[in-house]
């Protein structure tokens, strides 16, 4: 079994895979990582391999502690990957985006795939049917848009995400929901439309924390998969083990 550790800025996703099958997933606070991993060791049996994807902060001592129990791979730009990276600055490509591209190569081989990750930021990543990663885009995520309106203005409130009842907001709150949510939906639908015009037989994957909220409102045809990044990390680990 493989242990997958995806470190964010505040929380950590832990997952256990048996080959390509997700057996367990949980989200824990950064300070509870070691405690949670020790519990997983006891409840899910021996796990010899682990991969750490860190876009946040995992203490060096924590990494060393994990390394005492597992053969650990740290995901970075030097890890062998199952696609050709044509990004102009490959060393700056985020490990989360690398994992998403790997998942698409594994699950949709020989396909033009656009992966949309709707989290703190919305990232767009495109891989061609020739297995070439070209690049994509980075945009503010849903929560960031709500926070920006509150932080950068004097009187606009900070709201929780809510599906707009109408394109026309009849109050300040309704106007914020319409602007933020409809703005992001139009952005995503518009970008998908642009890719569809340029690339035939396009497959679109939507993942990330806001995937379920957004997928119900998008006009475009998509596959929603909230575990896509974890599946990509597991595939990277398997890919390197088989080399």
Residue ranges for the binding site for substrate? 87, 94-97, 172
Question: Which pair of tokens denotes residue 201?
Answer: 């037989």
Which residues form the catalytic set?
96
Residues 188, 206, 208, 217, CA torsion sign: positive
**Beta 49-54 vs 71-74: how paired, if at all?**
parallel
Segments of the chain assigned E as strands: 2-7, 11-18, 21-29, 49-54, 71-74, 84-85, 112-118, 121-127, 132-140, 202-207, 223-224
Task: Tell how far CA 84 is from the center of its chain.
Answer: 20
- Residue ranges of the binding site for K(+): 117
């Amino acid at each position: 079994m493989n242990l997958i550790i995806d470190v964010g800025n505040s929380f950590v996703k832990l997952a256990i895979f048996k080959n390509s099958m997700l057996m367990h997933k949980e989200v824990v606070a950064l300070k509870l990582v070691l405690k949670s991993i020790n519990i997983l060791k006891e409840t899910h049996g021996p796990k010899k391999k682990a991969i750490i994807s860190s876009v946040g902060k995992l203490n060096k001592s924590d990494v060393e502690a994990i390394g005492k129990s597992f053969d650990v791979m740290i995901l970075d730009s030097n890890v062998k990957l199952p696609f050709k990276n044509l990004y102009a600055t490959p060393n700056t490509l985020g490990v989360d985006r690398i994992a998403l591209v790997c998942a698409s190569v594994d699950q949709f081989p020989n396909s033009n795939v656009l992966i949309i990750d709707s989290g703190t930021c919305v990232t767009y990543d495109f891989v061609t049917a020739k297995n070439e990663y070209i690049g994509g885009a980075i945009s503010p995520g849903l929560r960031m848009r709500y926070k920006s309106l509150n932080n950068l203005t004097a009187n606009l409130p900070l709201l929780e995400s809510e599906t707009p009842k109408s394109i026309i907001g009849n109050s300040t709150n309704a106007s914020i929901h319409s602007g933020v949510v409809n703005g992001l939906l139009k952005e995503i639908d518009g970008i998908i439309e642009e890719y569809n015009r340029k690339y035939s037989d396009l497959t679109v994957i939507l993942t990330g924390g806001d995937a379920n909220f957004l997928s119900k409102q998008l006009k475009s045809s998509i596959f929603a998969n909230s575990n896509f990044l974890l599946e990509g990390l597991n595939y990277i680990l398997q890919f390197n083990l088989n080399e």
